[in-house]
Structure 1
Amino acid sequence: MKLKTLEIGGFKSFADRTKIEFMPGITGVVGPNGSGKSNIIESIRWVMGEQSAKGLRGDKMSDVIFGGTAQRAPLNRAEVSITFDNTDHYLNSEYSEIRITRTLYRNGDSRYQINGTTVRLKDIHELFMDSGLGRESFSIISQGRVESIFSAKPEDRRTIIEDVAGVYKYKQNKDKAEKELTGVQENLNRVQDILYELEGRVEPLAEQSAKAQDYLETKKQFDKLDQSRLVLELTDWYNEQTEIARELAGAEQASDEQAKVVKQQTDSLTAMKDERKQAETDRQEAQDKLLALTTAVEQLSGEQKLQAERSANRSNATRELKAQIAQVESRLADLKVTEATRQKKVASQKETADELRLQITELTASHPRQQEAAVSEEIEQVRANLVDAMQALTTAKNQQSYLAQEHERNDAESARLQQRSTLLDEQIATATASVTDAQAEVDEATTVLADAQAEFVRLQNAGKDLEAKSQAQRQEWFSKMEEDQRLSTRLQSLSRLSENYDGYFQGVRNLMKAKDNFQGIHGVLAELISVEAPHQTAIETALGGALQNVVVTDEQVGKQAIRYLTEHRLGRVTFLPLSTIRSRELQQGQVETAQNQPGFIGIAADLVKTDVTYNTVVKNLLGTTVIAKSMDEAVPMARALQQRVRIVTLDGQVMNAGGSMTGGANRNQGNGLLSQQNEVETLTAQVATLHDETAVLERQVREIDAELQNVTTAFNEQQAKVLTANERAQQATAKLQVAEERLAQVQKEKTALSYEFNVSNSGTADHETMVAENASEVTDLTDKQAKLQAQLTELTDERTELLARISDADTELTELRAELATAQANVQAAQVRYEDIVEQIEAEQARLTNYQQQMTDLTSDQSDVQQRLSAELATANTDKEATTNLLAELTDKLADLNERINVAEGMLVQAQEAQTDAMSTLSKLSGRQGELRAAIQNGERALEETYDTSFEFAKAEMSDMPIDSIRTQLKLLKQGLAEIGNVNLNAIEEYAEVKERYDFLTQQQTDLIDAQDNLRQTMSEMDEEVETRFKETFDAIAAHFSEIFVKMFGGGQAKLELTDPEHLLTTGVDIKAQPPGKKFQQMSLLSGGEKALTAISLLFAILEVRPVPFAVLDETEAALDEANVDRFAHYLHEVNDRTQFIVITHRKGTMTNADVLYGVTMQEPGVSTMVSVNLQELDNTLAEN
């Protein structure tokens, strides 16, 4: 493999795109300090993946982008491309030529490409991994790298050997194994913790399991005898119930007859009490009316007496009021005379004040002060005009002197301006041509940029739209997949439960697993029916354990199954033979009564869907059960049905026949067999739908992703085009701006010059006119000044005379104002006295009005009042007598009614006592009937729910022991169960599960320990491999180092040593050397040049052991003297047949041995350029000549 070319654009000082072609052999790069030689090496490191800005002599990565100069604008990106000839496939790639490109934009965006395809930085690193090439390999050696060899500690120096040995991947694998070992240890710890916990549970659970099995066996015997007890008790109760029903019919008839008698007596008594109540009301009203009339008579009599007394007192009051009215009228006459006098006085005082105000107004209007103000203002104006005239005269005289001097200056300036104008015309022509050229370049670049940006924006928007669409579609896809997974898991779980009959009684589960051994088993009832969701809880409650009954063809199949279960002791099952099961239905009247009740949902059997084959079974179990909405409706419905029908509510509460109630809720309510079956059907449909939807969404997501990939590729390509076009447009714009600024500057100078030239020409032409006008102006201003002085003297004399007249007028005005003040005070005093008289007149007038009203009241006619009172008193006496008579009649009527009511109440009491006796008998019989019904129902339910059997089956299998013996045996078995104590029935299954888990985890522990051993073995093998490779590589490098040292120094000896040979994984590497003529010593004791040459020898030894296709040496030999430089250069020649060298140098010995020299210069400050010379071709040409 060879390095072919390096292309640099916008990287550091290489502003222009620069291409360097590398030939086989030695390529030298020379140039003065600061010209940018090292930037070439840094560009190679950068394009090969260097990520440290400081390693590239910068603070941040954007510092590698050309930053601009005084003559050039900064660039927006840096780009470096390096091309390798990979014909021998030295690099692990299918391409025979590999071109790597790295681009960095000023906004921080970056891009990596291999042969034009965008890749990741990781892909670049992997391409060079274990190839001996790369940013940190020995293919790039700087002077600092040489110094690090002799200045490093021995422990750090070992990394040189490790890099050459290629043990990095083994160390990585070991690190990975260590992490895996840590994970295994954590898992082992968790497993051991769980095992520790389980070890404490296994033994106790084993004991509990044995105890539970003993309990179950005893409980089985107890249950069998208890079933027999229930059958015997139920038989007695059935017989007693029949007898009670007969007696109850007679008691009900007697009770009904007594109820009719009580009702007749009650109705009669109620009518008489209503009549008595009305009579009492009438009597109370008569009493109230009599009391009111008596009170009215008394009031009218008192009022007649009061009116007689008042008539005697009126004559004295009339005489007193007439005397007071005469006094008030006399005082009013006197006050009105005084009022007229004072009103005249007020008018006289006001007239005097008005005459004084008129005199003051006339004097103020003719006051000479206004004339004096006008004269003073005119004096000031004349004085100001005089000052202006004197200043203007002075200015005109100064202007005469200036005009004379200005004439001389105009002549000189005119000649200078003409010369400058000619020069500026030439500069404007040149600048205009530059602007035209730059504008054309800008227009072209702008057009290209606009087209590129438009396409860029279109692709960007398309990409965003597709990304958003992809994200939304993917999110929906993931949601559907998660929902599909969740529902599928639930469906599988329910399906397994259904297949294994989990949740069924033990006997049912064992029988259904062996159903293939029988012919005629149709299935468990729960599998053969379906119920809509709103009715599931009600139907499950109504059926109870019957849901697990097994439907069979006939009794023969049932007998075979029972025999199988009994022989194998597999549990008990209730069978429903289709050949014997008969329908059970409510009477039509009961159905109609239920339907008319609020909250009626339906007959339970009608709410179940099943095959017509099983209709009889469903009606047998549910035909007499009614479904109601809730308990609130079920209670009155049960009463309406006389407590003879079982009612179940939608939430699973029960009104039993006979009146008992069963209710509450279990933790697992809603998870019954029917609910699970319906859920399986629903989930099956939902999962099928979700499968289809997920497949469609997945196809859509893949289509969108493919489209997005195409748009992204086009977007990346267009982005590069936009950046290139933008860079070109910026350069063109900057060039245009410079040209326009230069043109504007020259034009501005030309405009200013033209203005100056015009001013100068117009000044010269008008100069004589200005001189003549100035002389005339001086004469006119002198005359104006004399006239203004005379006018000022005349106005000053006039103002003195006016001031004397102002003093006399002020004295007269002061006297008139004093008289006016006195007259105004007199007017105010007279007005106050007048208002006092007016107030007195108003007070006396009010008093007179009051006295006159009192006289009117006293003299009013009293005869009408006396007549009215007499008439009202006569009417009240008549009404009082009539009311007294009515009250006597009502009292007699009430006495008669009370006597009749007493007789009726006695008869009602006798009838009620007879009814109570009948009802008592009926209640006792009904109570006993209810007790029997409840006992029978509880007994039947105990058989059904507790023992999963019916009365008929239990009766067929009951013991032949008498009831007393059965009860005695049950007592003994119950004591036995009590002696067993608390039992954990779950311990049997729990023990099996824990034991299984314990065994599984024990195996897991063994597997994890084996995995630990395997990982430790792997790590040990890795260490052995690293040690072997490290030792072999060290020995090879040490041998070549000793040989090359002798060549480089022309003698002497050197060797590499391990600081800790027993521990090859951690040992350091020491260097000892003996240059010719010196003793053997540590490298640190050598001189600077000897250290450098020793380190170079070691680097050459490394290249002998691990040859690389090319090596870049950056002033590696800078510290060597001339003789050692020649040895260094000759050694390069010896090995350049297998390694291509690129050498940055400023040493003559190295330059002369190079095949191709590139010179780096800065012809333009801050911008590096390259010049190449093929020395081999030059030598051949010189030899031919």
Structure 2
Amino acid sequence: MAGAQAVDSERQKHQQQTLSELSTRVNAAQTNLKQTQAKLTATEMQLQTLKQALKTDRHNASQLKTQLAALDEQKLADEADQLQNDYIDQLQTLTTLHNQKQFLEKNQQRATSASQQANQRLRELQTERAQQEAKLNTAKQQLRTQQQQFDELQASCQQLKEQHQKRQQQIDQLNEQWLSALEVSQQAKARLKSLQELAQNYTGFYQGTKAVLKAADQLTGIIGPVAEILNVPAKYTKAVEAAIGAQQQHVVVSDETAGKAAIRYLTKHQLGRSTFLPLNKLKITYVAENVLAKCQQAPGFLGVAADLVQVSETRLKPVADHLLGNVIFAADLDHAVTLANLIHHRYRIITLAGEVISTSGAMSGGKDKREHHGILSQRQELTKLQANIAQMTSQLAAKQTELKQLKTVQAKADPSDYQDQLNVLNETRQQAENQVKLLSDRVASIKKQIATHQAQWGLDQDGEDFAGQLKHNQQDTATAEQKLAALKAQMTTLKQQQDQRSDSVQKLSAQYQDQRAVVTTKSVQVKQLGKETTEQAQRVKTLEDEIETLQKRIDTLNTAQSQTGESTQTHEAL
């Protein structure tokens, strides 16, 4: 235990000595850092002051340079040379004007006689020009008239062509519509023929019913099937078919005797079975008045079925009353249910969609994916097709008549009839254009002769002659003499300026060189101070890093020393 305590004591002593050394180094580094930072601040301030002074010196040097450039002696020399050249040019101009004056004076008399002859020829040309221009104006007026006639006829021809083209489009469109309508009509006729063949062959009827109807000529008292006796409006077809169902194929006969004969015929020839309705024995069904009164007050009530259909003959009305006299039609299923409850299911209620509410309360309805058409539907389709075909035939005839009329008008209104007139007018118009061109060329030729004549003899509309030119020459001469005197005065003034500027240039040049030397010296100083600033900033950074490192070591030793002290206390306790 004593040895451990000695080791801890020695360690603490060593750590304390190291801490003392590190603290001394930190204090020295911090002192050095403050001194360096102070130097850096002073250097930066000195650098900023020097930069500002350098900026001012450079500005002063620039101003001196500008002033020196303004007093450039070479510029003055160039100006003097230019004035000298202008002076020589003006002397030459003055000489030329003197020569021109002599020439004009010599030729003035000689030109007088020729000028009179030229004036005479000019008047002749001007007279001829006036005559040709009058002819040209007349020809242009004729051309405008013919052009107007040509344009009007051409517009009429164009309008006729457009009408002809539009009418042809109408003909083509009508013809296409007629062909399309004809195709629809033919399809409808084909469907009608098919339905008629089905009706003639009693297709869809039971075997027994079909056999009786085909043998109607051999039997007596056969009136026809129920489906052919009832005339049902299209909106009630589904309801009637739902109401009577297979009863559509029952055969109406005049009496019981006729019914028996028909049954014996089927039995004898084994042609099947059928149901017969003797007209004189049919039981009439009806809806009680009190019930009917209730229904008439209810929404959705359409009427008693027997009252909503027609029969082919008045005497056959009992057939409708027998089959449909006690059947009520309703607008839809909801209204049908309401009516059935209202009358306590005393009569069948059938909707326009063919849904049935029986007296027993049973409800039937629905729809197959593929709708099946009953005999009544086929018969209605046959009737509707007959009416449609009649209407389409009438419309086809009307369109054919309209098409024929348009073709007749189209044949009569031929644009080529106007083309011959247009060609004649065009030829006349071209002749007028040629005449205008000839006259225009003649007038242009005369004008050119007049211009050439005036240019050759110096004649113009103002009657300018040699006297005017001489006067102009005198004015130009006076102007040239004035310019010459002005140039001479400028040359004298410039010479004086050159003498005065020579001294100023020397003084400014010396000042400029001195200022440039100051700028150069301060630029070097700025560069040196900038370098010193950078070095001092780097020194500050190095000292800060050193202080941080030493401080970390001190913190580490303090921690270690605390741990050593705790260890020593532990050993002493033991």
Among 529, 534, 539, which residue is 2:240 paired with? 539
Tell me, in whole angstroms, the C-alpha distance in 2 between the residues paired with 1:362 and 1:502: 123
Counterpart residue identity of residue 439, structure 1: K
Q: Paired residue for 1:735?
A: 435
The answer to whether the 8 Å contact 1:630/1:651 transfers is yes
What does the per-residue CA deviation read over 1:451-495, in whole Å, with 9 as the maximum and x for residues that have no partner? 534543554455456555555566655555555555455445544
Among 363, 383, 389, which residue is 2:87 paired with? 389
Tell me, in whole angstroms, the C-alpha distance in 1 between the residues paired with 2:131 and 2:286: 119
Taking the TM superposition and a 5 Å limit, the aligned residue runs for 1:642-653 are: none
Tell me, in whole angstroms, the C-alpha distance in 2 between the residues paired with 1:658 and 1:430: 118
Q: How big is the shift at 1:728?
A: 1.0
Among 68, 73, 95, which residue is 1:372 paired with? 68
What does the per-residue CA deviation read over 1:924-961, in whole Å, with 9 as the maximum and x for residues that have no partner? xxxxxxxxxxxxxxxxxxxxxxxxxxxxxxxxxxxxxx
Tell me, in whole angstroms, the C-alpha distance in 1 between the residues paired with 2:439 and 2:228: 95
Distance 1:540 1:390, change over 3 A: same
What does the per-residue CA deviation read over 1:801-842, in whole Å, with 9 as the maximum and x for residues that have no partner? 232233234445666788899999999999xx9xxxxxxxxx
Distance 1:383 1:373, change over 3 A: farther
Q: How big is the shift at 1:431?
A: 3.6
The answer to whether the 8 Å contact 1:555/1:577 transfers is yes
Counterpart residue identity of residue 791, structure 1: L
Counterpart residue identity of residue 784, structure 1: L
Tell me, in whole angstroms, the C-alpha distance in 1 between the residues paired with 2:240 and 2:156: 69
1:794 is paired with a residue of what secondary structure?
helix
Among 446, 467, 472, which residue is 1:765 paired with? 467
Tell me, in whole angstroms, the C-alpha distance in 2 between the residues paired with 1:517 and 1:362: 142
Question: Identity across aligned pairs (percent)?
Answer: 26
Tell me, in whole angstroms, the C-alpha distance in 2 between the residues paired with 1:454 and 1:366: 82
1:504 is paired with a residue of what secondary structure?
coil
Tell me, in whole angstroms, the C-alpha distance in 1 between the residues paired with 2:422 and 2:51: 102
Distance 1:591 1:433, change over 3 A: closer
Among 244, 249, 260, which residue is 1:548 paired with? 249
Distance 1:387 1:484, change over 3 A: same
The answer to whether the 8 Å contact 2:132/2:443 transfers is yes
Q: Paired residue for 2:558?
A: none
Q: How big is the shift at 1:523?
A: 1.7
What does the per-residue CA deviation read over 1:579-636, in whole Å, with 9 as the maximum and x for residues that have no partner? 4443578999999999999999988667654477656645655678788999999999
| Structure 2: stretches of 5+ with no match in the other structure | 1-33, 541-574
Matched, 1:784 2:487: yes
Matched, 1:563 2:261: no
Taking the TM superposition and a 5 Å limit, the aligned residue runs for 1:66-465 are: 353=49, 360=56, 364=60, 368-376=64-72, 380-398=78-96, 400-401=98-99, 421=122, 424-425=125-126, 428=129, 431-432=132-133, 434-436=135-137, 438-439=139-140, 441-446=142-147, 448-450=149-151, 452-453=153-154, 455-457=156-158, 459-460=160-161, 462-464=163-165
Tell me, in whole angstroms, the C-alpha distance in 1 between the residues paired with 2:409 and 2:59: 108
Distance 1:543 1:423, change over 3 A: same
Q: Paired residue for 1:797?
A: 502
Counterpart residue identity of residue 673, structure 1: I
Tell me, in whole angstroms, the C-alpha distance in 2 between the residues paired with 1:582 and 1:678: 27
Counterpart residue identity of residue 428, structure 1: R
Distance 1:613 1:783, change over 3 A: closer
Counterpart residue identity of residue 383, structure 2: E
Q: Paired residue for 1:840?
A: none
The answer to whether the 8 Å contact 1:628/1:647 transfers is yes
What does the per-residue CA deviation read over 1:289-310, in whole Å, with 9 as the maximum and x for residues that have no partner? xxxxxxxxxxxxxxxxxxxxxx
The answer to whether the 8 Å contact 2:71/2:505 transfers is no
Q: Paired residue for 2:228?
A: 527
What does the per-residue CA deviation read over 1:233-256, in whole Å, with 9 as the maximum and x for residues that have no partner? xxxxxxxxxxxxxxxxxxxxxxxx
Counterpart residue identity of residue 385, structure 2: L
Tell me, in whole angstroms, the C-alpha distance in 1 between the residues paired with 2:58 and 2:183: 111
Q: Paired residue for 1:721?
A: 421
The answer to whether the 8 Å contact 1:367/1:809 transfers is no
Tell me, in whole angstroms, the C-alpha distance in 2 between the residues paired with 1:618 and 1:359: 126
What does the per-residue CA deviation read over 1:1099-1132, in whole Å, with 9 as the maximum and x for residues that have no partner? xxxxxxxxxxxxxxxxxxxxxxxxxxxxxxxxxx
Tell me, in whole angstroms, the C-alpha distance in 1 between the residues paired with 2:281 and 2:472: 149
Q: Size of the alignment, in residue pairs?
A: 485
The answer to whether the 8 Å contact 1:357/1:820 transfers is no
Distance 1:394 1:518, change over 3 A: same
Q: Paired residue for 1:1113?
A: none
The answer to whether the 8 Å contact 1:397/1:778 transfers is no
Tell me, in whole angstroms, the C-alpha distance in 1 between the residues paired with 2:232 and 2:191: 21
Q: Paired residue for 1:679?
A: 381
The answer to whether the 8 Å contact 2:349/2:357 transfers is yes
Matched, 1:508 2:209: yes
Distance 1:525 1:432, change over 3 A: same
The structure with higher relative contact order (CA 8 Å, sep 6+) is: 2
Distance 1:361 1:717, change over 3 A: same
The answer to whether the 8 Å contact 1:456/1:718 transfers is yes
Distance 1:663 1:641, change over 3 A: farther
Q: Paired residue for 1:96?
A: none
Tell me, in whole angstroms, the C-alpha distance in 1 between the residues paired with 2:61 and 2:70: 15
The answer to whether the 8 Å contact 1:353/1:824 transfers is no
Q: How big is the shift at 1:747?
A: 1.5
Distance 1:650 1:774, change over 3 A: closer
Higher strand share: 1
What does the per-residue CA deviation read over 1:870-928, in whole Å, with 9 as the maximum and x for residues that have no partner? xxxxxxxxxxxxxxxxxxxxxxxxxxxxxxxxxxxxxxxxxxxxxxxxxxxxxxxxxxx
The answer to whether the 8 Å contact 1:393/1:782 transfers is no
The answer to whether the 8 Å contact 2:54/2:519 transfers is no
Tell me, in whole angstroms, the C-alpha distance in 2 between the residues paired with 1:485 and 1:608: 32
Tell me, in whole angstroms, the C-alpha distance in 2 between the residues paired with 1:557 and 1:779: 151
Counterpart residue identity of residue 528, structure 1: I
Tell me, in whole angstroms, the C-alpha distance in 1 between the residues paired with 2:206 and 2:369: 18
Matched, 1:806 2:512: yes
1:515 is paired with a residue of what secondary structure?
coil
Counterpart residue identity of residue 505, structure 2: T
Counterpart residue identity of residue 564, structure 1: Y
The root-mean-square deviation of aligned C-alpha atoms, in Å, is 5.9
What does the per-residue CA deviation read over 1:1022-1079, in whole Å, with 9 as the maximum and x for residues that have no partner? xxxxxxxxxxxxxxxxxxxxxxxxxxxxxxxxxxxxxxxxxxxxxxxxxxxxxxxxxx
Taking the TM superposition and a 5 Å limit, the aligned residue runs for 1:41-56 are: none
TM-score relative to the length of structure 2: 0.62
Q: Paired residue for 1:574?
A: 275
Higher helix share: 2
Tell me, in whole angstroms, the C-alpha distance in 1 between the residues paired with 2:153 and 2:59: 96
Q: How big is the shift at 1:420?
A: 6.1
